[in-house]
Structure 1
Amino acid sequence: MSLIVQGVDVFVSDTGQGEPILFLHGNPDSAEVWSGVIARLQDRFRCIAIDLPGFGRSKAPDDFDYSVENLGRFVNGVLEGLGIDGPIHLVAHDFGGAFATSFAIAHPDRIRRLVVINHMFYIADYKWHFWARIWRTPLIGELSMRTMTWPTFRWSLRLGSKRLSDEQIRHAWGFFTPTVRRNVLKLYRAVGPAEFKAWEPRMRVATAKIPTLVMWGLHDPYIPAWIAQRFGTTQVASFQESGHWAPAEVPELVSAELLKFLRP
């Protein structure tokens, strides 16, 4: 199914019954990154996964606002479009965590439990990884996207998560169109050091109010594991078996931790 939110034709996967969970993917993914997790949870929860604006099948207007404030407003619009006005569980990976935590800051009463997986949410002293620095740089970022090939793309994802299959990587590559590449640049350029410094305290206020679980694939070359301790929660689950893309690499472990946390 699809929804129109802020001019975005949002792809929505909606399966199962029970308390709703909204799953938010990161870069360069789509809702499919959650397929292994959802398969294990849909008999107990209503599992909703979307393609983020400008990613996967969710076509976004050229002027879509990727500012931190608007990421949360976009999530709110999705929930309104789905007719969900009660509290939800919110599970997010990578840049999906920016959408999730922005929404959590604005609407802490709308979240039952929050889960973030390998995401830096504007930690003030986080140093951008190599590709992020490239993408944030005008002209160089455009050149890198224009010249990105399948071998480079495959190498970058496999570097982040050695257990990703070629099938999983090819699926992501299939969605990595010129339009999506431009949107990656817009997303990474919408924030900078000043935003990092301003948003970290607000994030900690939100996670002090909302039961929050952080999951971390420890073999992540892009976001260091020490950031898992910076979300203002003592509930951290670490995976020795995984790198950056834990939901795709070890869905059975991610699902088990979610079940423990969402149904204590």
Structure 2
Amino acid sequence: MNHEEYRARQDTVTVDVDGHGVEVAYYEDGPRDGEPLVFVHGIPTWGFLWREIAPAFTDEYRVVVPDLAGYGSSEQTDGFDRSIRAQEQVIEGLVAELDIGTPLNLVSHDIGGGVASRYAAHNPDAVSTFVVSNAVCYDSWPVEFINDLGLPSTGDLPFDELEEDLDFAFAGGVHGDESEHAEFIEGMKAPWMTEAGRRSLARCAVATNTNHTTEIDYAAITADTLCLWGGDDILQPVSYAERLAEDVSGESEVVTLDDAYHWVMEDRPKAYREELRAFL
């Protein structure tokens, strides 16, 4: 499905972030009494990142894919924190407001991996299986490109220049011919190409705080853990996956997918689905 079709499938719920009610968009499908399977995206993406993955599991699982606060179809005002510490509250609120039973199967990417790691460490009984893909952890982030987007000037950047910057991340960041990923590239850029979206992107980018992953007690994560990694990623190298797998307390393994950069679920969707299903 394209990003417009995906957005038409989303609903919204209000969750509490530091005492502020924030409207959060989410995609949901599958049997309500199925095992919960929650997907968490990173920056500068949104739930559409999982379009080739999440729908494949709705035959068996209750699939829920939120847009983090400030991202995608979620609220984009200036009234709340966007750090991964705050986004952990988004996951907690989503689980409560949608009455998603725990323990969860939790799948994450990029800063979504940092969000999910915090949630899994602070709520070990609430996560049974944990998947992290090319995720921020320890001191692996932020990266220069995202830091630059966090400058106040991004809020006033001409849209053609903003699109060039996003093309650097998406069109230049996929493996192989970018024409084969046109739907993904267009969908990833779409939420940011409005005045509110452009401002929100700057707020999301400046909220990237390394302290929020260096403070995590990764040994408190008791869920069985799969580090499912794009093997050619230079932003989040596989060495961090290996360190994470060593530190968690649950059973763990590292699986790398060749011919895949940071957007591993876009570069190798079939292999990603197969590895995820086998792990679950």
Taking structure 2 as the reference length, the TM-score comes to 0.82
Match of 2:275 in 1: 257
2:48 aligned partner: 32
- For residues 142 and 66 of structure 2, what CA distance do their matches in structure 1 show? 26
Summarize the Cα distance change of 1:128–1:51 in structure 2 as closer, same or farther, 3 Å threshold: closer
The percentage of aligned residue pairs carrying the same residue is: 25
Residue aligning to 2:168: 155
Contact (CA 8 Å) 1:15, 1:48: kept in 2 or not? yes
Alpha-carbon separation, structure 2, partners of 1:217 and 1:43:
26
Alignment-derived partner of residue 240 in structure 1: 258
Q: C-alpha separation between the residues in 2 aligned to 1:57 and 1:68?
A: 18
Q: For residues 53-112 of structure 1, what are the alpha-carbon distances to aligned partners after superposition, in whole Å with 9 as ceiling and x for unaligned?
A: 111111144121234432222211001111124211111111211221221122111111
In structure 2, the gaps of 5 or more residues are 1-10
Contact 2:135 2:236 in 1 (8 A): yes
Specify the alignment match of 1:109 in structure 2. Answer: 125
Shift of 1:212: 1.0
State the 1:113 CA deviation. 0.7
Deviations 1:111-155 (A, max 9, x none): 11111111122x13x35432033235x446556686634344223
Quote the RMSD (CA, aligned, Å). 2.3
CA contact (8 A) 1:30 1:51 kept: yes
| Contact 1:93/1:118 (8 A) holds in 2 | yes
CA 196–12 in structure 1, closer or farther in 2 if over 3 Å, else same: closer
Q: Distance in 2 between matches of 1:38 and 1:194?
A: 30
1:1-264 map, 5 Å: 1-6=11-16, 7-17=21-31, 18-121=34-137, 123-124=138-139, 126=140, 128-136=142-150, 138-139=151-152, 142=155, 148-163=161-176, 165-177=181-193, 178-199=195-216, 202=217, 204-207=218-221, 209-231=222-244, 232=247, 234-262=252-280
**Aligned 8 A contact 1:145 1:181 in 2:** no
| Conserved? CA contact 1:161–1:219, under 8 Å | no
Answer whether contact 2:30 2:61 (CA < 8 A) is retained: yes
1:151 and 1:60, CA in 2 relative to 1: closer, same or farther beyond 3 A?
closer
Given the superposition, is the C-alpha separation of residues 197 and 45 from structure 1 closer, same or farther in structure 2, using an over 3 Å criterion?
Answer: closer
SS of alignment partner, residue 59 of structure 1: coil
Once the two structures are overlaid, the 10-residue window that deviates more, 189-198 or 25-34, is 189-198
Distance 2:205 2:163 in 1: 21
Q: Once structures 1 and 2 are overlaid, which stretch shifts more, 180-189 or 241-250?
A: 180-189
Superposition deviation, residue 223 in structure 1: 1.8
Provide the rounded CA distance (Å) in 1 between the counterparts of 2:225 and 2:76. 30
The alpha-carbon distance between structure 1 residues 114 and 150, as it changes in their structure 2 partners (threshold 3 A), is same
Structure 1 SS opposite 2:242: helix
CA distance in 1, matches of 2:238, 2:157: 27
Cα 1:3–1:158 change in 2 (3 A) is same
AA aligned opposite 1:2 = T
How far apart, in 2, do the equivalents of 1:230 and 1:140 lie? Answer: 36
Unaligned stretches of 5+ residues in structure 1: none
One-letter code of the match for 2:279? F
| Structure 1 residues 106 and 141: alpha-carbon distance in aligned structure 2, compared to 1, 3 A threshold | same
Measured in 2, the distance between the counterparts of 1:87 and 1:194 equals: 27
How far did residue 248 of structure 1 move? Answer: 2.0
